[in-house]
Amino acid sequence: MGQLDILWEYQIFDMKMDKYNQMRKNIPLRYRLIELRDYLMKQQEQLIKYNDEADKKNNTLNRINHEYEIIANTFKADYNKIENTQVKTLKQLDEMHKTALELKEKLAKKEEELEALINDVQSLSTKLNEIRRNILKAKKEYSGIKSQYDQEVKKIQKEYQTLKAKRDDLRSKLSDSLIAKYNNLKNSRNTAVVKIENNCCGGCNMALAALVLEKLKQEGSIVECENCGRILYSGSSD
Ligand SMILES: [Zn+2]
């Protein structure tokens, strides 16, 4: 086998490796994993947000509870005064009655506030539970898909390594300058070596000059297409 025959084989393995690389990137499960990861991140953010909100509501709840207690205690203290007959005059009793009514009103307001807050806290806690459930569900799905995905990657990786070993074996039989030329062409033209089809370049379809075709017959010569620069290959020589 001449250098060109080896290079042709080399290109076949090299391109198959590229295909496996693409396959690895395009495993459909990968997109679902990315989707799930984004979803989980959003849910975590929501969880933090609602947790903070719940903390604040709890603090408010404690404060109002405390205020409620103070009012209730004042009310009770006044009531005890009447019980213990500390109230001597009708005027005093009148005033206490007035205060009692005011306190009763304040208590009713605090009760309203408390009720509203308790409702808020309850709906927050419902939301939090829902988010926690969603997170658990998504995490479960993620780890299931992840292990499937890892298996597929492993399979692709294995085939890739087999191809690479074959390609690298051929690489050792090629000159550095030829490989450098190959890599340059691959980067700029996607394919570096092309077959001749009906005296035309298999890369750009340009008809090849008689002189070029003549040069190709010489053993060991590397001939490039005058139009696209790709290395021309006339087929296996054995
Ligand atoms: Zn060409």
* CA of 11 relative to ligand 1 center, distance in Å: 17
Residue range 140-162: mean pLDDT, rounded: 96
* CA of 62 relative to ligand 1 center, distance in Å: 82
CATH fold of 16-171 reads: Helix Hairpins (1.10.287)
Residue 237 has pLDDT above 70, yes or no: no
**Residue 218's pLDDT is what?**
85
* CA of 164 relative to ligand 1 center, distance in Å: 28
**Residue 89's pLDDT is what?**
86
Residue 138 has pLDDT above 70, yes or no: yes
CA distances from 103 to 23, 60, 61, 73, 113 (A): 75, 21, 20, 10, 15
* CA of 212 relative to ligand 1 center, distance in Å: 12
For the chain, residues classed under CATH 1.10.287.1490 are: 16-171
Residue 85 has pLDDT above 80, yes or no: no
* CA of 200 relative to ligand 1 center, distance in Å: 8
**Residue 236's pLDDT is what?**
67
Joined tokens for residue 24: 């690895």
Residue range 92-114: mean pLDDT, rounded: 88
Residue range 70-91: mean pLDDT, rounded: 84
